[in-house]
Amino acid sequence: MYLYDEIDQSIVDERVAQFRDQTRRFLAGKISEDDFRPLRLQNGLYIQRYAPMLRVAIPYGILSSTQLRMLAHIARKYDRGYGHFSTRQNIQYNWPKVEETPDILADLASVQMHAIQTSGNCVRNITADHFAGVARDEIVDSFVWCELLRQWSTFHPEFAYLPRKFKIAVNGAEADRAATFLHDIGLHAVRGGTGEAGFRVIVGGGMGRTPVIGHVIREFLPWQHLLSYVEAILRVYNRYGRRDNIYKARIKILVRERGPDKFREEVEAEWEQLRDGPSTLTQAEVRRVEGRFVSPRYEALEDLYLAPSGPFGAWMKRNVFPHKRPGYAAVTLSLKKTGVPPGDATDAQMEAIAELADRYSFGELRVTHEQNLVLADVRQERLEALWRELNALGLATPNIGLLTNIIACPGGDFCSLANAKSIPVAEAIQRLFDDLDYLHDIGELDLNISGCINSCGHHHVGHIGVLGVDKQGAEYYQITIGGNQGETQTGQTARRTPAAVGKVIGPSFAQHEVPWVVERLIEVYLDQRESEDERFVDCAHRLGIEPFKQNVYGHADSPRQDRAAVAA
Amino acid sequence: MATLIRRGKIAQPSQPEAGEVLRLEPGDDPAKVAGRLGAVARVEVNFPRFTDGRGYSIARLLRERYGYQGELRAVGDVQRDQLFYLSRCGFDAFLLRDGQDAEEALAAFNDFSEAYQASVERPQPLFRRR
């Protein structure tokens, strides 16, 4: 991770003092609720259904064990002993008190953390591919570029009151593990003709009410121009993004209304005025930031030939990812054990994980946008010992990439926006698919659940997506198939199914019917797939939704036969 | 009472201010008034709501692209908690909204001792000064 220097530290310390004063004035009645709202949101503080919610930034998802211990401490001292890792690689606390939040921020600042711009209509926490720095298909280490962007976006004076929130993702590898086509800006590292690093710039993607796949507006942006180009995009958006309707205020709507070509012209014209200006990045600055990242002290090892069977083998297959350094591996800790809300971790688990990070992975870990944790630098010879310890902690469920690795938002159990619960639906599906052999046979499948159209649970890009909807006051669920977060596979045999928004299969279902529907969808896939290499999503793209629809609505046991949407 | 802060101080009420005033709304394009900037006594940028951030871009364009050197005044829903960003974008005068404590507001200019980005106030970003 990046280590703060004195200036970085003073900036977060001054932020704590600023927010403490703002909170004091708010509680004293000197700032109205309306005027305070944007101030507290830009410090991560929401007023929620049952209590405030505080979202703490984990910049691009990397954490030290010391920082994780602080997150555990905060869960214990200010909350109810747990936290929720979100799809934005942040952590959320659901029970803090407004008057205590300045103290929480002060505790965070003591370990180089903050809640800056984790909400509000500003540039949010920048997300990255969680295998940055260790993946074999790496092009650049995305963390360095994320940190440069973090500093650029932190308290950017021009872009604190944008039309709407603004999310940037950076992907440094060949495979897209950061969903770059589903962000306001996606930056995908590429090498130029002479081998120099740069970025493909994707704009206007996003989920929410109006899901859109982003547009490539520049195939190659040399790295020196990263900040000035992003600044040009933000300026066009800040000036021309719609402010009359909150549902039309994201940049994706501006890009759609202008048309991607016209939008590109405007950005390029603005950039012409900014390029080669003072914000042009220098080699010295990139080196300085690189130098402030703690690099693991790898030893010279050789790759081991490991082919275990049984439960350890299943875990090796699903939860262990190859490392670019011989003799090392990256390990995903599953926060998706059946019966535990996806992404939740208790203070005791956080403490235990911090200790494992110290003993197995140079004291560092990462949070993934699929709401799991990663120990990125584990020696292969120690994998079995680590597996045993993770098993004892309930963190070794061998389901990474599989159907039960469900992404879910906190849903109606916590969130005031939700139409429906998401956690019990996730649990019911996990219970139905608890047979590991069956699960592994189904293979890679992203199943994502959102409690409302804001789509914090990324249902639009679930290979199977589940969306909570309100039908005359009752909780119902709409099912989509064929959504995809991007080209996550690389190599010769890769299935290059592009990023896609899922298609609705028909009328929605009651909560208890959802697992049955998932089972019917899987049935079609297992029956029709070309081979085991063809994933559910590839199959759904090849076949279209009709056969899936037939097997759900036309099925003899279908709870929705009465209103069958089956095409004749 | 609305108070005027000018160049970091509470401005004393004086005789009526002379000269032509150019007033811009959030949707106005500074490029269209660039030719008039040399002839006006001051430019006012209106913030109908403080959450409408277009005025920040207008200010930077006036200063950085069109070379405006004169007084640049933020008017409308101008509050203490936005003064720091406004001043970094090139505003040097602020007509505070009614009910704002002007003495307390002055402290806002010192909320932060450093900033990462290039801005009107400090044209070199921190990484070129580090």
Count CA atoms closer than 13 A to A453's CA, side-chain side: 6
> Closest Cα to residue A524, out of A479, A492, A563?
A479
pLDDT at A561 over 70: no
| pLDDT per position as a tens digit, A50-67 | 678 999 999 999 999 999
Assess A533–B contact: CB distance below 8 Å, yes or no: no
Residues 6+ apart with CB under 8 A from A148: A226, A227, A281, A285, A286, A289
Q: What does the pLDDT average to over A495-509?
A: 94
Closest-CA distance of chain A to residue B16, Å: 31
Among A461-470, A485-494, A528-537, B119-128, the least confident range: A485-494
What is the average pLDDT value for chain A, to the nearest integer?
94
Q: What does the pLDDT average to over A552-567?
A: 70
| CB nearest to A160's CB, from B85, B101, B124 | B85
Q: What does the pLDDT average to over A32-36?
A: 94
Residues 6+ apart with CB under 8 A from A306: A316, A380, A383
| CB nearest to A238's CB, from B53, B88, B127 | B53
pLDDT at A567 over 80: no
Q: What does the pLDDT average to over A159-186?
A: 97
Residue A343: the pLDDT is 86
pLDDT at A47 over 90: no
Q: What is the CATH number of domain A310-393?
A: 3.90.480.20
> Residue B117: its chain A contacts at CB < 8 A?
152, 155-157, 279
> Residue A282: its chain B contacts at CB < 8 A?
127-128
Closest-CA distance of chain B to residue A401, Å: 38
| pLDDT per position as a tens digit, A224-238 | 999 999 999 999 999
CB A373 within 8 A of CB A361: no
| pLDDT per position as a tens digit, B67-104 | 999 999 999 999 999 999 999 999 999 999 998 999 99
Q: Hey, what's the torsion of the CAs at A104, A107, A109, A111, to 10 degrees?
A: -140
Q: Least CA distance to A31: which residue of chain B? A: B100
Q: Least CA distance to A281: which residue of chain B? A: B127
Confidence of residue A566 (pLDDT cuts 50, 70, 90): very low
Confidence of residue A413 (pLDDT cuts 50, 70, 90): confident
> What whole-number distance in Å separates Cα of residue A345 and Cα of residue A91?
10
Residue with tokens 């208790």: A346
In whole angstroms, how far apart are CA A419 and each of A414, A451, A467, B17? 11, 6, 9, 56
| pLDDT per position as a tens digit, A538-547 | 999 999 999 9
| pLDDT per position as a tens digit, A112-152 | 999 999 999 999 999 999 999 999 999 999 999 999 999 99
> What whole-number distance in Å separates Cα of residue B43 and Cα of residue A548?
63
pTM of structure: 0.95
Which amino acid makes up residue A204?
G
Q: What does the pLDDT average to over A471-482?
A: 94
CB A183 within 8 A of CB A166: no
- Confirm or reject CATH 3.30.413.10 for domain A127-285, answering yes or no: yes
Residue A83: the pLDDT is 94
| CB nearest to A162's CB, from B53, B84, B124 | B53
| CB nearest to B53's CB, from A10, A161, A273 | A161
Assess A97–B contact: CB distance below 8 Å, yes or no: no
Identify the burial level of A401 via C-beta atoms within 10 angstroms of its C-beta, where 0-12 means exposed, 13-18 middle and 19 or more buried.
Answer: middle
Asked whether the domain spanning A310-393 has the same topology as the one spanning A127-285, the reply is: no
Mutate to test the interface with A, among B112, B124, B130 (most CBs of A within 10 A): B112
> What whole-number distance in Å separates Cα of residue A479 and Cα of residue A545?
11
Mutate to test the interface with B, among A158, A226, A239, A274 (most CBs of B within 10 A): A158
Residue A565: the pLDDT is 46
What sign does the CA torsion over A457, A165, A124, A347 have?
negative
CATH of A6-109, one of 3.90.480.20, 3.40.47.10, 3.30.70.100, 1.10.10.10: 3.90.480.20
Residue B12: the pLDDT is 77
Q: Report the DSSP pairing between strands A407-408 and B21-24.
A: unpaired
In whole angstroms, how far apart are CA A89 and each of A13, A178, A366, B61? 23, 11, 8, 35
Among A162-171, A189-198, B12-21, the least confident range: B12-21
Fold of B4-128: TIM Barrel (3.20.20)
Cβ–Cβ below 8 Å for A157 and B56: yes
> What whole-number distance in Å separates Cα of residue B98 and Cα of residue A208?
38
Cβ–Cβ below 8 Å for B57 and A235: yes
Assess A42–B contact: CB distance below 8 Å, yes or no: no
Bridge partners, A206 (sequence order): A212
Domain ranges of chain A: 6-109, 127-285, 310-393, 407-563
Residue B111: the pLDDT is 95
Cβ–Cβ below 8 Å for B113 and A14: yes
In whole angstroms, how far apart are CA A450 and each of A305, A320, A384, A420, A460? 41, 27, 35, 8, 9
Cβ–Cβ below 8 Å for A277 and B118: yes
- Identify the architecture of domain A407-563 in CATH: 2-Layer Sandwich (3.30)
Assess A38–B contact: CB distance below 8 Å, yes or no: yes
Closest-CA distance of chain A to residue B90, Å: 10
Strand stretches in A464-564, DSSP E: 464-471, 474-481, 503-504, 509-510
Which of residues 228 through 267 in chain A touch B, CB cutoff 8 A? 235, 238-239, 243
| Percent of residues, chain A, with pLDDT higher than 90 | 87
Cβ–Cβ below 8 Å for B124 and A278: yes
Domain ranges of chain B: 4-128
> Residue B113: its chain A contacts at CB < 8 A?
10, 14
Closest-CA distance of chain A to residue B114, Å: 7
Cβ–Cβ below 8 Å for B118 and A279: yes
Assess A360–B contact: CB distance below 8 Å, yes or no: no
Mutate to test the interface with A, among B64, B81, B88, B109 (most CBs of A within 10 A): B81
Q: What does the pLDDT average to over A451-471?
A: 95
> Residue B53: its chain A contacts at CB < 8 A?
121, 158-162, 238
